[in-house]
Amino acid sequence: MSDQSQPIVKPQPIVEVEDLWVWLRKRGREIPLVRGLSYTLRPAEALSIVGESGAGKSIGVRAALGLLDPRLFRVTGSSKLVGTDVLALTAKERARYVPSVAALVFQDPGRSLNPTMRVGDQIAEAFLKGSGYEPGMTRAKAEARALQLMKDVRIAAAEERFKAYPNQLSGGMKQRVVIAIAVACKPQVLFCDEPTSSLDVTTQAAIMDLIGELRDQTGIATVTITHDLALAASRARKVIVMYGGQVVEALPARLVATESAMPYTTALIEAVPDIDGNGTPPTPIEGMPPDPANLPSGCSFHPRCRFAQDDCLTNTPELRVVAPAHELRCFHPVKDLELQEASR
C-alpha cells in the first residue's frame, strides 16, 4: 500500500447560489429586494441566514428554489441545486425537479399540514405520491416507514399520534411532523424559514437539535433562516448576515462572537441577550431597516450606524474577503475602530 496520503476531495456542492437578484415589479418600477446574494453549500453543511425583518431572507430562499411568481418578481443570477440551475428550467421542469432535491419548512407548521387528514397518513403520502416514492411501495410499507420516521423525529407515543389530526398536536409536535414529511421526500437540502419562531424557547432548541441530528445522520445540507444570531451561531457552520437585501457579512459560525466586524452584525449581537457571555443587557438597534423602494445612498446601514463616516454616505461598499471564509461589506470594520481607539 502506498504511504502517500490521498488528496482530500471536497464533495460537490449541493447548493450554489450565484449573484441572485430579485426585483419586485410595482407600478412600472422594479424595486430591488435581494441584491447579489451568493452562497455555496456542500453535503452535511449548515448555513444560517440572519437579519431583521424585511432583509430579504425569505424572498432570497424562495427565489433560489424558483418559487417566486414571475408576474410579480424578476429574478436574475443562478441557483444550482445538485448541479442544475433551477432558474434556467421551465416552470414545469422546475416543479418536478426542485421537490426531488430540496424541501422547505416554514415558521407556522399548521399552515403546512392538512387539517382534515391524520398526520401519519400525511407522512405516508410522501412515500406513496411524493418524492419519497420507490418502486414496489405499498400503503402498508408507506405507513410503516411513516411510523418509523415519526420515531426518528422523536415524536413520543408515535403509534397513537400517527392517528392524530394536526390540531390534536402541540406546535412543536406539528413542526416535527412537517420535518418528517420533508425528510420523507429524501431531499439533499432542507431550507427552514424560521422553523422555530412560533415555538417556545425549549421547543425551539429541541427542533434545532433535531435538524442537526438529521444532518449528521443523513448528510443532508441545511439552510436555516432566523432573526436570532445567537441561535444561528450555535447551530450552524456558516452564518450570512443580510441587510437591505444584501449580504453585509459572512463568516464561520464559531467566529461570530469574537470576529464579527460589520457594525450591523455587532449591533445584532448586542441586541440578543448575552451571546458573548459577559452579562451585558441587550441593546436594541435604533431606527428602522431600509425601505427597498427608497434605499439610502452609500452603505445601506449608514443611517443607523454608530461608526458611519463621510465616505459611508457617498461610497457604496463592496463585499470583500477580510480573512479565510470571512467576507465583509464595510469601510470601517469594528476591529479597526477598536484598534484605533486602543492606540489613542
Ligand X SMILES: Nc1ncnc2c1ncn2[C@@H]1O[C@H](COP(=O)(O)OP(=O)(O)OP(=O)(O)O)[C@@H](O)[C@H]1O
- Shortest distance in whole angstroms from residue 168 CB to ligand X: 28
DSSP conformation letters of 282-303? P-PPPS-PPPGGGPPSSSTTGG
Amino acid letter for position 57: K
Residue closer to ligand X, measured from CB, 188 or 246: 246
- Shortest distance in whole angstroms from residue 321 CB to Mg ion: 28
From Mg ion, ligand X, none, interface partner of 33 (C-beta below 5 to 8 A by class) = ligand X
Decide: is 58 part of the binding site for ligand X (CB under 6 A): yes
Q: In what order do the strands lie in the sheet with 221-226?
A: 102-105, 189-193, 221-226, 46-50, 238-243, 246-252, 326-328, 320-323
Question: Binding marks (x or -) toward Mg ion, 62..101, rule CB under 5 A?
Answer: ----------------------------------------
| 333 CB-near residues (< 8 Å, 6+ apart) | 261, 262, 322
From Mg ion, ligand X, none, interface partner of 329 (C-beta below 5 to 8 A by class) = none
From Mg ion, ligand X, none, interface partner of 54 (C-beta below 5 to 8 A by class) = ligand X
Decide: is 55 part of the binding site for ligand X (CB under 6 A): yes
| Best CA proximity match to 252, nearest among 326, 334, 330 | 326
Q: Are strands 102-105 and 189-193 parallel, antiparallel or unpaired?
A: parallel
The residue range among 5-13, 51-59, 163-171, 309-317 that interacts with ligand X, by the rule CB under 6 A, is 51-59
Is 77 strand, coil or helix? Answer: strand
Could you say which of 48, 58, 79, 222 contacts Mg ion (CB under 5 A)? 58
- Shortest distance in whole angstroms from residue 1 CB to Mg ion: 53
| Chain centroid, CA 255 distance in Å | 18
Could you tell me the three cell numbers for 173?
Answer: 409536535
Could you tell me the three cell numbers for 231?
Answer: 441561535
Q: Are strands 326-328 and 246-252 parallel, antiparallel or unpaired?
A: antiparallel
Cell 405520491, located at residue: 129
- Shortest distance in whole angstroms from residue 29 CB to ligand X: 12
Return the biggest CA–CA distance within the chain: 74
Decide: is 248 part of the binding site for ligand X (CB under 6 A): no
| 103 CB-near residues (< 8 Å, 6+ apart) | 182, 183, 185, 187, 189, 190, 191
- Shortest distance in whole angstroms from residue 55 CB to ligand X: 4
Decide: is 172 part of the binding site for ligand X (CB under 6 A): no
Q: Which of residues 261-280 bind ligand X (CB under 6 A)?
A: none
The DSSP code for 54 is T
The residue range among 53-61, 126-134, 204-212, 326-334 that interacts with ligand X, by the rule CB under 6 A, is 53-61
Residue closer to ligand X, measured from CB, 53 or 258: 53
Q: What is the CA angle 191-97-14, rounded to 5?
A: 50
Residue closer to Mg ion, measured from CB, 100 or 197: 197
- Shortest distance in whole angstroms from residue 49 CB to ligand X: 8
- Shortest distance in whole angstroms from residue 225 CB to ligand X: 7
- Shortest distance in whole angstroms from residue 31 CB to ligand X: 8
Decide: is 130 part of the binding site for ligand X (CB under 6 A): no
DSSP conformation letters of 144-186? HHHHHHHHHTT-TTHHHHHT--GGGS-HHHHHHHHHHHHHHT-
Could you say which of 13, 32, 54, 77 contacts ligand X (CB under 6 A)? 54
Residue closer to Mg ion, measured from CB, 61 or 207: 61
Residue closer to Mg ion, measured from CB, 106 or 127: 106
Q: Which of residues 17-36 bind ligand X (CB under 6 A)?
A: 24, 33
Q: Which residues bind Mg ion (CB under 5 A)?
A: 58
Q: Which residues bind ligand X (CB under 6 A)?
A: 24, 33, 51, 53-59, 227, 292
